[in-house]
């Protein structure tokens, strides 16, 4: 069963968490924003840090900052901001999950704060937010206002999931049938869990995106270009090893 909490419950929980001080520095930083941030929770089922996986490339696609599990029938798209690849989207039939990793403080989880910001932004647009405890922990199930093809207004159902890791934060946005019927998203959720994040040792400001790269021998294919049947990332791991085509989404 899924837990469910309202904003009042969240505020009560935050007040209780304020008594759990991680260390003096973190507490002082948190107090400036009226909150105390806690260390990231354990991740016994993933997602994984690169230091926790002996061979991250085994069964996964190497995107530099992320190693994304490959499964039969999936299509992989990358998303570009300027000249940098900042997100990857896995499409499985009528569902998808967008994966994006960010730098985070060493001893502070940011998913709670990010959830509040996402919820606030969507409600200000006239959307509807429900915060629940799902298979991946606390998540937002949202109805986001969109313009339909006929010009009328409607809503798109999406799920925002997130996990704090050591100096990184991984966010997933589940859309399609996996958002409308969460019980149908088991494989997408497993892909999210089994993703490996490569933060690197260099300095990064909190919330800076962890930049990705194309796999070796991958090809950039504009989103609307017609391709031969099965030419996209659809052949399972044997296909990936030969160099999958990647759809660029702008």
pLDDT in tens, 153-191: 999 999 999 999 999 999 999 999 999 999 989 999 999
> What is the fold of 40-249?
Protein Transport Mog1p; Chain A (3.40.1000)
pLDDT at 135 over 70: yes
CA distances to 89, 106, 139 from 93, rounded to whole Å, are 13, 37, 23
Instruction: Spell out the domain ranges in the chain.
Output: 40-249
Task: Note whether 49 and 117 are within 8 A (CB).
Answer: no
The pLDDT value recorded for residue 37 is 57
pLDDT (tens digit, 9 = 90+) per residue, 10-47?
Answer: 444 433 333 333 333 343 344 444 445 566 777 778 89
Element (H, E) at 6: none
Q: What is the pTM of this model?
A: 0.74
The pLDDT value recorded for residue 159 is 97
pLDDT band at 84 (very low <50, low <70, confident <90, very high): confident
């Amino acid at each position: 069963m899924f837990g469910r909490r309202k904003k009042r419950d969240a505020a009560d929980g935050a007040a209780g968490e304020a008594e759990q001080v991680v260390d003096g520095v973190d507490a002082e930083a948190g107090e400036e924003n009226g909150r105390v941030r806690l260390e990231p929770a354990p991740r016994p089922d993933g997602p994984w840090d690169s230091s926790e996986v002996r061979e991250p490339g085994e069964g996964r696609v190497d995107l530099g900052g992320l190693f994304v599990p490959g499964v039969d029938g999936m299509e992989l798209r990358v998303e570009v901001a300027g000249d940098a690849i900042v997100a990857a989207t896995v499409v499985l039939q009528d569902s998808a999950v967008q994966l994006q990793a960010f730098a985070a403080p060493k001893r502070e989880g940011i998913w709670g704060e990010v959830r509040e910001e996402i919820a606030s932004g969507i409600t200000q647009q006239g959307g509807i937010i429900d915060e629940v405890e799902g298979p991946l922990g606390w998540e937002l199930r949202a109805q986001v206002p969109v313009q339909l093809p006929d010009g009328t207004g409607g809503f798109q159902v999406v799920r925002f999931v997130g996990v704090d890791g050591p100096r990184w934060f991984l966010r997933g946005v589940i859309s399609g049938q996996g958002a409308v019927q969460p019980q149908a998203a088991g494989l997408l959720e497993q892909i999210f869990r089994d993703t490996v994040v490569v933060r690197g040792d260099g300095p990064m400001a909190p919330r800076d995106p962890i930049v990705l790269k194309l796999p070796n021998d991958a090809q950039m294919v504009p989103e609307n270009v017609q391709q031969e049947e099965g030419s996209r990332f659809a052949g399972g791991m044997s296909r990936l090893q030969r160099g999958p085509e990647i759809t660029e989404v702008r």
